[in-house]
Amino acid sequence: MKLYDIAIIGAGAAGLSAAAVAVRQNKSVLILDMGDRPARKVLASGGGKCNITNTAASADRYFGNNKNFVRGALSRVTPYDILQWCESHKLNLYEKTPGRYFCADGAAAVVDALLSDAQMASFVYKTNVLSLTKSNDLFIISTDNGNYNAKSVIIATGGISFGTLGVSDAGYKIAKSFGHQIIPVRPALCAIKTKRFDSELSGISIPVEIHVDNESINDDMLFTHFGIGGPAVYQATVRDISAGIMINMCPGKDIVKILKQAKQTNGRNLISTVLAQHLPMRLVRFIIGDKNRNIADFRDTKIKDIASQIQACTIECSDIVLYNMNSAEIVRGGVSTDKISSKTMESLLCPGLFFAGEVIDVAGDLGGFNLHWAWASGRVAGQNA
């Protein structure tokens, strides 16, 4: 049985990045993956254009039990390192918004570049890892396709989000078998199922400001047949939502002031007519119900109540269902960072065992932050394994 210097479990963004670094160091590398092709999430990312990195990548855009854990890898692999890598592979990039880079050539071109860097590694697909043990400083990887030996192992199995692409909790099970704590996982960067809104609002998209976990998020929100989605909501779900969220559906304006002025200027105007200058009519009708009367008929207390529904719309945690693991882009939770070196990604409980990517309790914000974490943590693991 061949002995490999490094075995990498998972042929995703983190695993391939680790392999690329390792083979450059003339190490023999084995990559095991349960799927029939590599980097399936990379291919699906950014609508097929791969949101490859974000120049705003810093510790405050990552979430987990220890937000500072990411600092080591982010300082060693910066967004500009990734942009340089793209340039070396002649990948054509564009900025969708300032600092947020996508690949104009498509995500498949990014995967081809990753595979080119890791081509000296041995790939074994359609293989499920059943267990990982260590004996006499060697790791024994038991799979449904035979056993493999390695001096070091990198767990890069990802999370259990986006189930349609084929995911596994094998990484969590392996980590747990070596004494690592698993932070319970939940969907993140996903839509919210809630009874707060009516399904008749489905399809409406508006700019909003969402207040969650002492932060304000300004982006677009989409009403769905089951609740709300869109980039603003996705960003909210990666944060701590245990205290609920508050939505300002008309940011940058003072609805109380607007309605009072309209009342003074022309009280015969319908309140729906005034609000429709600032919100879609379907949403206005949902908010005011059957109260579509002249604005002069509304007392100031009622005006304040309507304005509150628009600019301080609260959804309690009990009315929030994260929708759902199969459609979520990532998970929050995973292997606790408490017993992982932030400098090397090596287990503090088992020398030679490393972790990289989404399998760790690190969740990035929307906009290329999670792929950047995969590149960064993968490179650091590959360099030190």
- What pLDDT does 122 receive? 98
Q: What is the mean pLDDT of the segment spanning 128-155?
A: 97
Residues ≥6 apart with Cβ < 8 Å to 123: 11, 31, 33, 38
Q: 199-231 burial string, b = 16+ CB within 10 Å, else e? A: eebeebebebbbbbeeeebebebbbbebbbbbb
Amino acid type, 234: Y
What confidence category does residue 166 fall into, taking pLDDT thresholds of 50, 70 and 90? low
For residue 363, what pLDDT is reported?
A: 98
Q: What percent of the chain has pLDDT over 70?
A: 99
Predicted local confidence at residue 163, as pLDDT: 64
Confidence category of residue 269, pLDDT binned at 50, 70, 90: very high
Give the pLDDT of residue 92.
Answer: 97
End-to-end CA distance of the chain: 21
For range 258-266, the mean pLDDT:
94
Given a cut of 70, whether residue 23 has pLDDT beyond it is yes
pLDDT of residue 341: 98
Q: Which domains does the chain have, with CATH numbers?
A: 3-185+334-384 (3.50.50.60), 191-323 (1.10.8.260)
Average pLDDT of the segment spanning 25-34: 97
Residue pair 375/53 in contact (Cβ under 8 Å)? The answer is yes
What is the model's pLDDT at position 2? Answer: 87
Structural contact between residues 122 and 141, judged by C-beta atoms closer than 8 angstroms = no
Q: 52, 110 in Cβ contact below 8 A? A: yes
Query: 286-319, pLDDT tens digit by residue?
Result: 999 876 789 999 999 999 999 999 999 999 999 9
pLDDT for 107 equals: 97
pLDDT band at 167 (very low <50, low <70, confident <90, very high): confident
Mean pLDDT of 131-155: 97
**pLDDT given at position 134:** 97
pLDDT at 328: 92
**What pLDDT, on a 0 to 100 scale, did the predictor assign at position 290?**
72
Mean pLDDT of the chain: 96
pLDDT digits (tens, 9 = 90+) for 85-128: 999 999 999 999 999 999 999 999 999 999 999 999 999 999 99
pLDDT (0 to 100) of residue 168: 80
3-class DSSP string for the chain: CCEEEEEEECCCHHHHHHHHHHHHCCCCEEEECCCCCCCHHHHHHHHHCCEEEECCCCHHHEECCCHHHHHHHHHHCCHHHHHHHHHHCCCCEEEEECCEEEECCCHHHHHHHHHHHCCCCEEECCCCEEEEEEECCEEEEEEECEEEEEEEEEECCCCCCCHHHCCCCHHHHHHHHCCCCEEEEEEECCEEECCCCCHHHCCCEEEEEEEECCEEEEEEEEECCCEEECHHHHHHHCCCCCCCEEEECCCCCCHHHHHHHHHHHCCCCEHHHHHCCCCCHHHHHHHHCCCCCEHHHCCHHHHHHHHHHHHCEEECHHHCEEECCCCCCEEEEEECHHHECCCCCEECCCCCEEECHHHECCEECCCCHHHHHHHHHHHHHHHHC
